[in-house]
Every structure is written in structure tokens, then in C-alpha cells.
């Protein structure tokens, strides 16, 4: 009798674990829809601690009223227009604020930008001060050499430990820079 009971208990335990894992996975997926970084982290912490979510995504989806097909189409078109405008605004913000993460927290940025050099000046110790056409000003860090000309296209990309590398488009040589404005 005991030999028959052990596999049955093991089967029930495994089934309960699988169901709990599915619930956790769904709760974690619901946390990905939270836009604020702090609130998203709080959501993940609550799921891992076994607490229930304060605003489950499934309930929000269920509570939406059913619309006719014409109303649904109009709503979808309006949402697409809003999404397009928001994405255009995000792209503008990304390019304007690139390199200022340490000064302003909670900005979303890309890993690199392309820009045209407006002017190149030399600082007292030989570092380059580069002004770009988008209004950004970057200063060379270190003693590496690179020949920059006005109206040249440069690529500034993110390095390690919140550093930035500037290179001329089509070349591999780069210099370390920091944003000064």
C-alpha cells in the first residue's frame, strides 16, 4: 500500500509545482507591461515574494467593453496615430539627450548616434573640443590622436562603465570623449 501511495503523492506535488510556476510566469509577464522602472521592479519583487499583483493585467483586458467592428477600427487607427507620434518624440529625445545619463536619470537612450561635426577646437592640453550640428558639445578624454574636420560624419557610441567613444564614419580608430553641455 505504501509503495502505491508514494508515486501518487509525488505526482500531486509535481502537478502543484507546475501550476505554481505557470502562475508565476504569467505574473512576471504582467510585470513587463509596467512602464515606470521603479514600479516594474516592485512588481517583480512582489511576484517573487509570493504577493499578489495590485493591478493584474488580465482583469484590465477583460473589463474592456465590447465594441462594434467600426468602433474597433477607429480605435485601432487612433491608437496607431498616437503610437507613431510617441515614437517620433522618443527618437528626438534620444538624440538630444544622448550622453547625459549621469546628469538626468530615467532617460531611454540608444547605444550610438551619428552626427556631423560643426567645429573642432583644441583645449590648452591638446584635447579636442568637438561641437556637433545637433548642438551637442563633446570633449576628448585621454591622449589618443584623431584628425577631425568640419562637416565630417562621426559616430559616438557607448563604451563600458558609462564612457563614450567617438570615431569617424568608415574608420576604426576612436577616441574616448565625454559630453560637456
CATH number at residue 140: 2.40.50
Segment 66-84 shows an average pLDDT of 54
pLDDT of res. 17: 54
The residue range of the domain holding 44 is: 2-80
| Predicted local distance difference test score (pLDDT) of residue 93 | 62
The proportion of the chain whose per-residue pLDDT surpasses 90, expressed as a percent, equals 31
Provide the pLDDT for residue 153. 96
- pTM for this one? 0.43
Residue 95, Cα to own-chain centre: how many angstroms? 14
pLDDT (0 to 100) of residue 169: 93
Q: Is residue 102 part of a domain?
A: no
**Domain assignment present for 95:** no
Amino acid at each position: 500500500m505504501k509503495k502505491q501511495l508514494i508515486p501518487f503523492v509525488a505526482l500531486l506535488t509535481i502537478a502543484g509545482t507546475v501550476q505554481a510556476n505557470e502562475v508565476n510566469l504569467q505574473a512576471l509577464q504582467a510585470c513587463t507591461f509596467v512602464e515606470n522602472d521603479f514600479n516594474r521592479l516592485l512588481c517583480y519583487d512582489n511576484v517573487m515574494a509570493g504577493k499578489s499583483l495590485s493591478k493584474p493585467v488580465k482583469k484590465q483586458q477583460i473589463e474592456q467593453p465590447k465594441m462594434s467592428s467600426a468602433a474597433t477600427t477607429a480605435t485601432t487607427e487612433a491608437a496607431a496615430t498616437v503610437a507613431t507620434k510617441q515614437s517620433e518624440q522618443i527618437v528626438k529625445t534620444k538624440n538630444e539627450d544622448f550622453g547625459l545619463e549621469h546628469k538626468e536619470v530615467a532617460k531611454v537612450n540608444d547605444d550610438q548616434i551619428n552626427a556631423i561635426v560643426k567645429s573642432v577646437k583644441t583645449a590648452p592640453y591638446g584635447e579636442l573640443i568637438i561641437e556637433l550640428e545637433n548642438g551637442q558639445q563633446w570633449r576628448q578624454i585621454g591622449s589618443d590622436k584623431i584628425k577631425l574636420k568640419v562637416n565630417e560624419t562621426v559616430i559616438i557610441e557607448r563604451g563600458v562603465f558609462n564612457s563614450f567613444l567617438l570615431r569617424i564614419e568608415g574608420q576604426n580608430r576612436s577616441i574616448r570623449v565625454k559630453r560637456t553641455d
